[in-house]
């Protein structure tokens, strides 16, 4: 049974194929509107995330399927102490595919080992968020026309930002990628990612400066510096403004650079930047639904082939 | 110092000096109903000094656990006072329920009845990571 738990579960070729399906959906959505008729998606959100949950639900509905599920652990049997594996085994009796968000890292992986239907990781703690990565990849591909030979800047919370972790992991497969990782020293990428970059020989720079690097970037991936991650207020106050993107900083950026953000935004991108043609984070939201449609189709298709074997 | 030989059992040899008690605890040798000898700091031609554990009973030894602690350990199987097999260990590809994940955000910290599984990601550095959350295994915690 195929699942998507980690972006590494899919080969480069499979990702390219998914992005190709996404492009076909964008070109002709009507052709896909009944492709999941009589199919059901369960959204098991043990942690609230309205944006991601709605994206999955909209994706399934756009394919003609139906959805069921819950939007927080409080409204599920988890509140009674039911295990993740029991919840998944139960829900797999009602649904053809499951999208799971869980605050604990590795929960969707555990679920996939027990589930009889495909499981999609819709975010697990600070660990992975592979469908956000597919969203990012589709957006980068649509905006830049390629996924190789890119200099990607990432700014903000790179330690707990799971979208950052998954995107770095995915980009390792493409030629000519380099990273500029801009964060406070306290919020640098986890060591396993640094090891991965070193092992793959991918160039990267870790810095707590932003302006000096904006002019070289093809992509700027913004994330929020999260106040709650700091142990003392002083450090947060000292660092928070360095990673706020405003129109002043945008003067240093290249004309062709594109700004992505997994959203929700708080204050790390000034609303004045929204009108800049380089800001594509709201296009990213639309792309997220499209690529989730492509993913649901792929996993259901593979599950169908398996059941007819 | 004289320690009787093993008639039917196991001799765990070439243990790093000082590691024998860790292995004793890990393999729960205190629960065996047979003679167990821990010999510490013996002169070794190969390694200078070593520890040895002699178990006077045939038992299934978790070779993965021993290989994780030290792949240079050898396990000798003795039957009727004769050495019948000598097992050289290596770093296991996967660790099953040998170390616990210390990441409080890992699903294994809350879900009951879940195996603790770690995968070898860097043999040179003997680095293992939790298959659920990718936290590194803490060897000292054994």
* Per-residue pLDDT, A234: 83
pTM tops 0.90:
no
Give the mean pLDDT of A49-71: 96
| pLDDT tops 80 at residue A240 | no
Q: Is the Cβ of B113 closer than 8 Å to some Cβ of chain A?
A: yes
Smallest Cβ–Cβ distance between B107 and the set A84, A126, A195 belongs to A84
Residue A1 contacts residue A303 (beta carbons within 8 Å) = yes
* Per-residue pLDDT, A241: 75
* Per-residue pLDDT, B3: 61
> What is the rounded distance in angstroms from the CA atom of residue A258 to the CA atom of residue A260?
7
> What is the rounded distance in angstroms from the CA atom of residue A199 to the CA atom of residue A176?
15
**C-alpha torsion angle, residues A194, A185, A101, A129 (rounded to 10):** -40
Q: Is the Cβ of A106 closer than 8 Å to some Cβ of chain B?
A: yes
**Which residues from chain A sit within 8 angstroms of residue B113, using beta carbons?**
83
Residue A122 contacts residue A99 (beta carbons within 8 Å) = yes
Smallest Cβ–Cβ distance between A83 and the set B103, B112, B133 belongs to B112
* Per-residue pLDDT, A300: 98
Separation in Å, CA of A282 to nearest CA in chain B: 30
3-state secondary structure of A259: strand
C-beta atoms of A106 and B136 within 8 A: no
DSSP-derived letter for residue B139 is: G
pLDDT (tens digit per residue) in A128-148: 899 999 999 999 999 999 999
CB-CB neighbours of B139 under 10 Å: 12
* Per-residue pLDDT, B4: 65
For every one of its 142 residues, what pLDDT tens digit does chain B have, with 9 covering 90 and above?
A: 556 678 899 999 999 999 999 899 888 899 888 889 999 999 988 778 999 999 998 888 888 889 998 899 999 999 998 999 999 999 999 999 989 999 999 999 999 889 999 999 988 888 999 999 999 997 755 5
Q: Which residue has the higher pLDDT, A300 or A82?
A: A300
C-beta atoms of A110 and B103 within 8 A: no
**Which residues from chain B sit within 8 angstroms of residue A9, using beta carbons?**
none
Complex confidence, ipTM: 0.85
Distances (CA, A) of B77 to A19, B54, B84, B97: 57, 10, 6, 24
Separation in Å, CA of B106 to nearest CA in chain A: 5
| Per-window interface: A 144-203 vs B, CB < 8 A | 190-192, 195
Q: Which residue has the higher pLDDT, A78 or A289?
A: A289
Residue A77 CB-half CA count within 13 A: 10
pLDDT (tens digit per residue) in A177-235: 999 999 988 889 988 899 999 999 999 999 999 999 999 999 999 998 777 667 778 87
C-beta atoms of A106 and B132 within 8 A: yes
Residue B141 contacts residue B99 (beta carbons within 8 Å) = yes
Chain A, chain B: beta-carbon pairs less than 8 Å apart: 56
Note the residue count of chain B: 142
> What is the rounded distance in angstroms from the CA atom of residue A53 to the CA atom of residue A35?
20
pLDDT cut 70: percent of chain A above it: 97
């Amino acid at each position: 049974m195929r699942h998507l738990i980690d972006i590494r579960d899919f080969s480069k070729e499979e990702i390219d194929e998914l992005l190709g399906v996404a492009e076909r959906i964008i070109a002709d959505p009507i052709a896909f509107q009944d492709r999941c008729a009589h199919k059901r998606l369960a959204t098991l959100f043990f942690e609230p995330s309205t944006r991601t949950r709605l994206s999955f639900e909209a994706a399934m509905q756009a394919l003609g399927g139906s959805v069921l599920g819950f939007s927080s652990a409080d409204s599920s049997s988890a509140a009674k102490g039911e295990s993740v594996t029991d919840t998944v085994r139960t829900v797999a009796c009602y649904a053809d595919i499951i999208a799971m968000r869980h605050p604990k890292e590795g929960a969707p992986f555990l679920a996939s080992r027990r589930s009889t239907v495909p499981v999609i990781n819709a975010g697990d703690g600070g660990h992975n968020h592979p469908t956000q990565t597919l969203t990012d990849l589709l957006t980068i591909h649509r905006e830049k026309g390629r996924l190789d030979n890119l200099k990607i800047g990432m700014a903000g919370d790179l330690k707990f930002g799971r979208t950052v972790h998954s995107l770095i992991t995915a980009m390792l497969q493409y030629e000519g990628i380099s990273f500029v990782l801009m964060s406070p020293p306290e919020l640098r990428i986890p060591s396993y990612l640094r090891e991965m970059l070193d092992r793959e020989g991918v160039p990267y720079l870790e810095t707590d400066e932003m302006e000096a690097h904006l002019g070289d970037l093809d992509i700027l991936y913004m994330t929020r510096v999260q106040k709650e991650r700091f142990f003392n207020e002083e450090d947060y106050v000292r660092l928070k403004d360095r990673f706020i993107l405003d129109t002043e900083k945008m003067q240093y950026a290249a004309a062709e650079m594109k700004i992505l953000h997994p959203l929700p935004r708080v204050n790390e991108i000034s609303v004045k930047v929204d009108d800049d043609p380089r800001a594509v984070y709201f296009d990213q939201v639309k792309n997220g639904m499209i690529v989730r449609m492509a993913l649901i189709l792929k996993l259901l298709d593979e599950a169908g082939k398996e059941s007819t074997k | 110092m004289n320690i009787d030989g093993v008639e039917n059992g196991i001799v765990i040899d070439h243990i790093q000096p000082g590691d024998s008690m860790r292995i004793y605890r890990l393999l729960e040798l205190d629960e065996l109903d047979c003679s167990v000898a821990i010999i510490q700091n013996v002169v070794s031609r190969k390694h200078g000094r070593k520890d040895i554990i002699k178990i006077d009973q045939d038992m299934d030894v978790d070779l993965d656990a021993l290989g994780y602690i030290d792949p240079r350990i050898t396990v000798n199987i003795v039957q009727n006072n004769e050495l019948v097999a000598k097992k050289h260990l290596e770093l296991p590809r996967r660790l099953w329920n040998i170390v616990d994940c210390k990441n409080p955000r890992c699903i294994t910290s809350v879900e009951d009845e879940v195996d603790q599984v770690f995968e070898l990601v860097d043999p040179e550095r003997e680095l293992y990571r939790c298959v659920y959350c990718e936290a590194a295994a803490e060897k000292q915690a054994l």
